[in-house]
Amino acid sequence: MPGSRRVTLADIAAACGLSKATVSLVLRDSPLVHADTRARVRAELDRQGYVYHRGAASLRRAGAANAVALVVNDLANPFFAEFAAGVDAALAEAGHVLLLGSTGESVERQQAVLASLVEHDPAALILSPAEHSDGARLRRLLGPRLPVLVFNRALGDGGDAHWDYLALDNRAGARLATAHLLAQGHRAIAFFGGHRDSSSCDERRAGYRDALAAAGIAPDPGWLVECAPTRLEAARQTPALFARDPAPTAAVCYNDAVALGLMVGLAGCGRRAGADFAVVGFDDIAEAACSAPPLTTVAADPRARGLDAARLVLARLRGEAAAPARHIAPVTLRVRASSPPLNVPPQATGADA
């Protein structure tokens, strides 16, 4: 059960009828231990789910025994910077310190980062998984006793069911964004950015389709454009929106980074965001309100979500939580100048609503 007492050297030694010193020698692959004894200890280590934390002692000497690890898939995304700030603030208030890692959307990098962090014996882990993460592989690496909170993306094999899970209301948010564009008179609406095999993107696409279906509109396959959820890739992929007719007049974007990249890319396609093309993002990062034009977006309050994540982990560490739980954070729509009515000049639209 997550949050239960960690297995210690003393537990292993008692089960094997050996001294802690002998178990320690086995962990260090010492040739002084007989092969049969070594095999018996290794089997007991596996049975009890013991993880060797070679950095734990040094961390305790440094006063960091209560560290909580946070691993995100893209630290360059301002959403995760704000999320990390919220995590850090809540941990600091509770007397914990933050260990931070980033995977850059690489599953292998994620394994390496997590393996290194686990050796340093964090009290708990908050993980926003890289795309294509394997839940079973993560469970083998992290062991059964480390309290884990999965954030933002579900694991494809349902692996997050073993751990606490915190996500945004992705489907409802994208439905709000699409309904807003429909109310503005747009009918050819794209969903731009992200990868469909990411759970968060899949959920947002579902909300987009919900709103179109309610309006009796079937999305053209050409309106669904995938790209890495970054500004640069969004700008590069913008011409794909206009590769065939009918071209869309508006786009719901996977996140704000994609939306801001799209607004740059539109200029190269002879269009202007907030004038003859409407753009809606998702996240409401700090920059969204002061972009040119200010970005309409689904507000997820990333700093508040970081506070939520840390408080859920701290509750788990205090023994206040029982079975792993799922938490879905609400979202709201922030209407700004980037999503004007169809064929209406930008000066006729409102500012921040």
- Higher-confidence residue of 158 and 267: namely 267
Whether 200 shows a pLDDT value over 60: the answer reads: yes
Give residue 80's domain range.
Answer: 61-166+303-327
- Higher-confidence residue of 167 and 197: namely 167
139 and 93 in one domain? yes
**54 is a domain residue:** no
Domain count within the chain: 3
pLDDT the model gives residue 31: 73
Average pLDDT over residues 298-313: 97
**55 is a domain residue:** no
222 and 340 in one domain? yes
178 and 294 in one domain? yes
Give the residue carrying structure tokens 């786009």: 251
151 and 275 in one domain? no
pLDDT band, residue 346 (cuts 50/70/90)? very low
**56 is a domain residue:** no
pLDDT the model gives residue 199: 92
84 and 103 in one domain? yes
- 286 touches 82 (CB < 8 A): yes
**Helices 20-27 and 35-48, interaxial angle, to 10°?**
90
pLDDT the model gives residue 20: 77
**3 is a domain residue:** no
Residue 324: asked if its preceding bond is cis (omega within 30°), the reply is no
Question: Model confidence over 265-300: pLDDT tens digits?
Answer: 999 999 999 999 999 999 999 999 999 999 999 999
The closest of 341, 296, 344 to 182, measured between CA atoms, is 341
96 and 113 in one domain? yes
Question: Model confidence over 335-344: pLDDT tens digits?
Answer: 999 999 997 5
pLDDT-above-70 percentage for the chain: 90
- Higher-confidence residue of 182 and 33: namely 182
pLDDT the model gives residue 323: 87
pLDDT the model gives residue 48: 85
Sign of the alpha-carbon torsion through 51, 57, 62, 63:
positive
20 and 162 in one domain? no
Determine if the pTM surpasses 0.85: no
33 and 159 in one domain? no
Least confident of 139-148, 158-167, 278-287, 344-353: 344-353
Give the residue carrying structure tokens 């179109």: 212
Question: Model confidence over 25-70: pLDDT tens digits?
Answer: 788 777 778 888 989 998 998 888 886 655 444 444 444 458 999 9
**2 is a domain residue:** no
The closest of 159, 132, 164 to 325, measured between CA atoms, is 164
Q: What is the DSSP string of 181-215?
A: HHHTT--SEEEESB-TTSHHHHHHHHHHHHHHHHT
- 12 touches 45 (CB < 8 A): yes
pLDDT band, residue 104 (cuts 50/70/90)? very high
**53 is a domain residue:** no
CA distances from 72 to 61, 148, 149, 154, 235 (A): 27, 13, 12, 13, 23
342 and 197 in one domain? yes
252 and 118 in one domain? no
256 and 178 in one domain? yes
pLDDT the model gives residue 65: 52
Q: Which H/E stretch holds residue 140?
A: helix 135-142
323 and 254 in one domain? no
**231 is a domain residue:** yes
Instruction: Quote the Cα angle for 18-54-309, to 5°.
Output: 115
- Token pair belonging to 342: 């169809």
Whether 252 shows a pLDDT value over 90: the answer reads: yes
**1 is a domain residue:** no
Helices (H), 49-123: 56-61, 78-93, 107-119
pLDDT band, residue 2 (cuts 50/70/90)? very low
Q: What is the CATH number of the domain that holds 337?
A: 3.40.50.2300
Whether 211 shows a pLDDT value over 80: the answer reads: yes
Task: Sort residue 179 into left (φ over 0), alpha (ψ -120 to 50) or beta.
Answer: alpha
Compute φ and ψ for 59, nearest 5 degrees: -65, -40
How many other β-carbons are positioned within 10 Å of the β-carbon of residue 170? 26
Least confident of 41-55, 147-161, 260-274, 317-331: 41-55
pLDDT the model gives residue 185: 98
Average pLDDT over residues 253-274: 97
